[in-house]
Amino acid sequence: MAAIAPPRAGARRAPAPASPSRRRPFRLRASLVPWAFLAPALILFTLFKFVPMARAIEMGFYEVRPYLGDRWVGADNYRQVVTDDTFLAAIWHTVVLAVGQTAGSIVIGLVLALLVEGQARSLWFVRTAVFLPTVAAMAVVAEVWRILYYPAPDGAINSILGWVGIGPSQFLNSQDTSLWSVMAVGIWRGAPYDMMIFIAGLAGVDRTLYEASSVDGANGWRRLWHVTFPALRPVFAILFTLAAIRGMRVFTEIFLLTNGGPNGSTEVLMTLIYKLGLERNELGVAAAGSVVLLLATVVLTLAVQYARSRRADR
Amino acid sequence: MTASRHDTALGFADRPGPAARVARLVVYTALVLVFAGPLLALLVSSFGKVHDPSSLTIIPRDFTLDNFRAAIRQDVLRYLTNSFIVAGGGLLLQILVSISAAYALARKRFPGLRLVFLLILSTMMLPEEILAIPLSLVLADVPVVHVNLIGSLVGMIVPVGAWAFSILVMTEFMREIPVELEEAARLDGAGDLRIFWSVVMPLCRPALGVIGIFGFNMIWDQYMLPLLVAQDSAQFTLPLALRSLRADEQVGVGVVLAAALLALLPSVIAFLGFQRQFMRGLTSGAVKG
């Protein structure tokens, strides 16, 4: 739940000046007031966001050697990130996971939203129950799913699969199924969040359009396609951005479900960076990996923003 | 309320026939089982006899508190306390920092305002995960003050103090407060601090609920930061402790279930208690874009 889009970032209104009628003469004290109120936030952001970011960029160019002094290695660390097989595999897994979880959550979230839209009290109960996975801490979700995925035939999910004659599956324990199993957990936790956003979006659809479309004889599917989905377009855009950004930095669920295994089949960028940096002390390479991840996030965010503003202009 | 068939995208009938009723009941039951079922299984199983992971069930039987007794012997209460200290301290700091920054962003006009706004927005692209490696170095030696926060709960509290989402939601809200109230107070001779504390703050109470519930969930869900800061189990938060409990051969699945339930409940209770504020935050945060 960490990443939430900024409220109306682009279209910010200028705040009303404190006294519009008579301009007070410039006073140092008065001009310092806003900065005093901003100081705590700016100091914390600087210390724990901007300084680490600058450090990451700097460290990416060095071989970091505690006690011996850092050695400048130019672009070597970056070269390793974009050519090394382990990194390439991790990048691939990250992309597959991000795309799969994003698409899966949006599609299932939309279906859920359509099913549970409405005013009835019973629907409120269903919505609340379905939303719970999103509220639970990721660590709890991961531990519960490890148990559900218990690979013995009498494990919870395997029992359910057994009723319909499938399995048993190894889930997290086999490199053929591990990535998909992790993805399913991500979708299970992500879809209800998307559902709630879609429901909010659905509430904004003009009801008279539904009426008009049924007067015109449109069936349910055409009405969804021509009235509902176009109205939800901004919601799709924002959900896509959020999920893609969240997908890139996926760490906790992998760390707890598989820790990259078996045999590297679920290793993503963040788990690899974590291992390199904090377990093998290759801080320079790890920092370069972080910078690549950061750049990807920035590019993706700006690209979506740009695409949206262009569409809004037209 | 007429023409309610036009109230939902799928055009559900207001008074469905028996067949439609049954169909919907089946669908809703399935949805609840798929999404809430695993958490319900956690709740039920942690109060039952658990031998191995296949003992997970959603049908209560053999009620026992053994799992919780064993969990307490594994220091789970200490982890829970740590989690509450971090969540309480972090949330208090986060709220104070957010309303203070929002006051400047929403009620003041000054050179650099746009730049500050952009900087705060940009921190949304800098989560703890991506910054993990340099952040661990910064935590070990905080610039300027040169304090080592590794191995101290303070290191999990201070970095979550500033959160862009909270600041932006609060700013949005404060802009809606009429200027007249502030002007009246200013004419009465109140200074900025006074106006902030006794005029703007009381009017922000609804928004406090929103950033409070979101902040709590955000801090409770923190994993990377505690992982970087904790040096040994004395500083573990409950989510962090789950992994080492599971990895310990001496500790059974029952203890993991009991600990996981204790880690789940606060966030679920907070969500159920502040549901209205939660939904407001979701929509103000995401849909307006």
Percent of chain A, pLDDT > 90? 38
pLDDT of B142 higher than 80: yes
A158, A181 Cβ separation under 8 angstroms: no
In angstroms, how far apart are the furthest CA atoms of chain B?
Answer: 71
Interface A-B: count of C-beta contacts within 8 A? 342
**Which residues have C-beta within 8 Å of that of residue A100, sequence separation ≥ 6?**
A183, A186, A187
d(CA A4, CA B269): 22
The residue whose two tokens read 């002390």 is: A281
Return the bridge partners of A63, or none. Answer: A71
A residues 71..130 contacting B (CB < 8 A): 112, 114-119, 122-123, 126, 128-130
Question: Helix A85-116 and helix A76-83: axis angle, to 10°?
Answer: 60
Q: What is the mean pLDDT of residues A114-131?
A: 88
Helices then strands, each counted (H, E), chain B? 15, 0
Please write the tens of the pLDDT for every residue from B191-247: 888 888 888 888 888 889 889 999 999 999 999 999 999 999 899 999 999 999 998
Q: What is the rounded distance in angstroms from the CA atom of residue A222 to the CA atom of residue B165?
A: 38
**Residue B288's pLDDT is what?**
37
Query: Tell me, what amino acid is at A301?
Result: T
**Chain B 116-145, CB below 8 Å of chain A: which residues?**
116-117, 119-121, 123-127, 129-138, 142-144
Cβ under 8 Å to B: A residues 35-64: 35, 37-38, 40-42, 44-45, 47-53, 55-56, 59
Q: Cβ(A286)–Cβ(A277) under 8 Å?
A: yes
Residue A148, chain B, CB below 8 Å: the answer is: yes
- What digits encode the pLDDT tens for the residues B27-83? 999 999 999 999 999 999 999 888 777 778 888 888 888 889 989 999 999 999 999
Question: Which pLDDT score, from 0 to 100, does residue A188 have?
Answer: 96
pLDDT tens column, A56-113: 998 889 888 777 777 788 788 888 888 888 889 999 999 999 999 999 999 999 999 9
Nearest C-alpha of chain B: how many angstroms from A46?
A: 10
- Mean pLDDT across chain A: 83
pLDDT in tens, B14-31: 677 788 888 888 999 999
Q: Which pLDDT value is given to residue B1?
A: 40
Return the higher-pLDDT residue of A9 and A299: A299
Average pLDDT over residues A166-191: 89
**B223 vs A6, A138, A286: nearest CB:** A138
- For residue A117, the model assigns a pLDDT of 86
pLDDT in tens, B84-100: 999 999 999 999 999 99
pLDDT grade, residue B5 (50/70/90)? low
What mean pLDDT value characterizes chain B? 87
- The Cα–Cα gap between B126 and A298 comes to 9
- B119:A118 CB<8 A: no
pLDDT higher than threshold 50 for residue B3:
no
At A223, list the tokens. Answer: 């009405």
Residues of B in contact with A118 (CB under 8 A): 7-8, 12
**Per-residue pLDDT at B43:** 93
Which ranges in B108-163 belong to alpha helices (H)?
A: 113-122, 128-140, 154-157
pLDDT at A186: 94
Alpha carbon A307 to chain centroid distance?
Answer: 19
Interatomic CA distance for residues B175 and B157, integer angstroms: 29
Give the whole-angstrom CA distance, residue B71 versus residue B196: 46
Q: Is A62 helix (H, G, I), strand (E, B) or coil?
A: strand
Q: What residues pair up with B122 in beta bridges, in sequence order?
A: none
Spatial separation of the C-alpha atoms in residues A177 and A172, rounded to whole Å: 6
Instruction: Determine the distance in angstroms separating the CA of B225 from the nearest CA of chain A, rounded to an integer.
Output: 11
3-class state of residue A25 by DSSP: coil
pLDDT of residue A5: 42
Would you state the pLDDT for residue A7? 41
DSSP A1-14: ----PPTT-SSPPP
Structure tokens at A112: 């859920």
Chain B contact probe: residue of A115, A140, A294, A297 with most B CBs at under 10 A: A140
- C-alpha B105, offset from chain centre: 24
Q: Rank A2-11, A92-101, B9-18 by mean pLDDT and report only the highest.
A: A92-101
At B182 the pLDDT is: 83
Residues of B in contact with A298 (CB under 8 A): 125
The first and second tokens of residue A278, run together, are 């904090």
Identity (one letter) of the amino acid at A9? A
